[in-house]
Amino acid sequence: MILANAELILPDRVMRGAVHIEGGIIAEIREGDAVPPGAEDCRGAHLAPGLIELHTDNLERHLQPRPGVDWPHSAALFAHDGELAAVGITTVFDALRVGSILEEESSPRYARPLASEINSLTAAGRMRISHYIHLRAEICSESLLEELADFMPEDRVRLISLMDHTPGQRQFRDLSKLAQYMQGKHGFSDKAFADHVARLTDLRARVGDAHETGAVAAAHRLGATLASHDDTTAEQVVASAGHGIRLAEFPTTAEAAAACHEHDIRTIMGGPNLVRGGSHSGNVAAEELAQAGLLDIISSDYIPSSLLLGTCHLARLWDDLPRAFATVTEAPARATGLTDRGRIEVGLRADLIRLADMERTARITGSWVKGRRVA
């Protein structure tokens, strides 16, 4: 297959050219606007590497579309998979929570069976895009170590993030913001919220350190990249570096982001934060970090389409299309050891997306995974 007469977004420049694909691999890249016989004429549309998503809560939305409604897993997975393909994501790390507070969870310990379903559908060739497992390790929980022990190296766990949602620190240093979130999402009364805060604070004091140590050990055992989450202070970043962490998801302050770069830790910020112009939790704006040179990777977080929208926002901010696209292609690939994708380069996978209306709201007009059209 040949995709010709396209504006190719290469690592260091944009070039009019054609991509020749053989056996799902990029076999040749030619400069120029020629359209060989049998080639697909892209008519000057942009062609970029497929987007790589490291942290998305989107699958959970399909699994439980309303509180208390559990949707059939295969249907939820296919809908999630198709939605991501349609917005240009060709590789996803599906974020699954491990670590439950048993008295508060209606469906605890869901990650192990769901990971098996994802891997089974992937192995059977029933998914459009490439799926890996991202375990969100809830430090402030009761069952974390038992749940982590259920995962083996063959389970395609490529990322483990240390999540500490103890009230009063990190993302929810401001307890009023946490109250707004919990009361809005779960309908907590003032008393129920106070009880929740007290219970989690006590739980963190009893098991937090052991859980953090156990999660770091699990990442080494599974061969997974280790990430921190919601770093707020330079001291927290120092602790992350001590664990061997090389990725920081959503640092909440400029201080933490700067400390991450000092310790060679790549930062991930949310596409919704970029698109909206700020954090919904009152934390540092992603654009502020981008302007300071402290933003390395974008994640769509809870809105899949924000990955492309955020990239285009960065392209305008930096006046550098290749640099912006690297935050959602090459950078996440390198950070997680995926050496076979993330760039339009001979010998790499033909994971590609075609884009239109780049000067307005960019939209996907084609997605290919290993040369196969998926959207």
Output the DSSP codes for 340-366: T-SS--TTSB--EEEEE-TTSS-EEEE
Q: What is the CATH number of the domain that holds 203?
A: 3.20.20.140
The answer as to whether 41 is a domain residue is: no
What are the structure tokens assigned to 285, written together?
A: 């704006």
- Confidence at 282, pLDDT banded by 50, 70, 90: confident
**For residue 280, is pLDDT > 80?**
no
> Does 349 map to a domain?
no
34-42: long-range contacts, CB 8 A cutoff, minimum separation 24: 34/4, 34/5, 35/4, 35/5, 36/2, 36/4, 38/2, 39/2, 39/3, 39/4, 40/1, 40/2, 40/3, 40/4, 41/4, 41/5, 42/3, 42/4, 42/5, 42/6, 42/354
Q: How confident is the model at residue 107 (pLDDT cuts 50, 70, 90)?
A: low
Question: Mean pLDDT of all residues in the chain?
Answer: 92
Least confident of 113-122, 133-142, 172-181: 172-181
Chain segment 164-195, per-residue pLDDT in tens:
877 656 666 666 666 565 555 556 677 776 77
Domain contains 40: no
Which two tokens mark 159?
């990322």
Range of the domain at 330: 50-339
What's the predicted TM-score (pTM) here? 0.92
Domain count, the chain: 1
Task: Kindly give, in sequence order, each residue whose CB lies less than 8 Å from that of residue 31, ignoring residues fewer than 6 positions away.
Answer: 15, 16, 17
Query: What per-residue confidence (pLDDT) applies to 292?
Result: 98
Tokens found for residue 283: 């934390």
Residue 265 is predicted with a pLDDT of 98
Asked, for residue 304, whether it belongs to a domain, the answer is yes
| Coil, strand or helix at 240 | helix
2, part of any domain = no
Answer whether residue 365 is part of any domain: no
Spatial neighbors of 193 by CB under 8 A, at least 6 apart, are 179, 182, 183
**Does 9 map to a domain?**
no
The whole-number average pLDDT for the span 8-22 is 98
**Would 352 be classed as within a structural domain?**
no
Cβ atoms of 21 and 27 closer than 8 Å: yes
Model confidence pLDDT, tens digit, residues 55-70? 999 999 999 998 789 9
Which tens digit of pLDDT belongs to each residue from 241-272? Answer: 999 999 999 999 999 999 999 999 999 999 99
